[in-house]
Amino acid sequence: MSDTATDRTEQWLERVVVGLGLCPFAAPVLTDGRLEILVSDARDADTLTADLDHALQRLASTPANELETTLVVVEHLLGEFDAFNDYLDIAEALLEVRGLTGVIQLATFHPDYVFADAEADDRANATNRAPYPTLHLLRETSVERAIAEHGNSEAIPVRNARLLRSMTPARWRAVFGD
């Protein structure tokens, strides 16, 4: 496991996800230490799938007050966005095989993330960009609770896109470094 990958992911969470408020549900989980970052050292899909399986089983078997969510950071694989998207079929199949569909959901982040209806240079893509390909494992009950508490969760992506698109070049560089 790479300390650099862990450190860069933690910095991204603090500076981008929480710092910009892109996910209004993230701060308490991060502050309370109920987020696990598992950096996969996998060099092939089978090893990555074994790491993902371990993370899924650990999350499913640990109480939410101890472990709320897990990020599986893929340090050496899936660097191409298309390969990452292709791997998601395997990840979703694993959820089904483990009987975790409807219990744990998968959110995704990638350094080159591009929404289906967006141009590659649209700043709104940064809402799903992370330093490394990342599989975010979320408890469905936690997602439902957060949505109920937040209210209009459909407005979050719209707000995020507007925020990112309106950032000055200096602010963008300060947050994203590019």
- Averaged pLDDT for residues 58-82: 96
Q: 124 pLDDT exceeds 60? A: yes
Mean of the pLDDT values across residues 82-91?
97
Q: Which two tokens stand for residue 172?
A: 């963008």
Q: In this structure, is residue 177 part of a structural domain?
A: no
Does the pTM exceed 0.75? yes
Please report whether residue 8 resides in a domain: yes
Share of the chain above pLDDT 90, in %: 82
Range of the domain at 66: 3-169
CA angle 96, 102, 107 (to 5 degrees): 85
Does position 55 have pLDDT exceeding 90, yes or no? yes
Largest CA distance in the chain: 47
Asked if residue 176 belongs to a domain, the reply is no
Query: Could you tell me if residue 175 is inside a domain?
Result: no
pLDDT band (50, 70, 90) for residue 25: confident
Whether pLDDT at 2 is above 70: no
**Per the domain annotation, does 89 fall within a domain?**
yes
Is the residue at 83 inside a domain?
yes
pLDDT score for 72: 98
Give me the percent of the chain exceeding a pLDDT of 70. 98
Residue 158, judged by CB atoms within 10 A of its CB (0-12, 13-18, 19+), counts as: exposed
CA-CA-CA-CA dihedral for 48, 38, 6, 173, to nearest 10: 70
* Domain-embedded: residue 150: yes
The tally of domains found in the chain comes to: 1
Give the residues across from 136 on adjacent strands. Answer: 71, 107
Domain presence at residue 87: yes
Beta bridge partners of 149: none
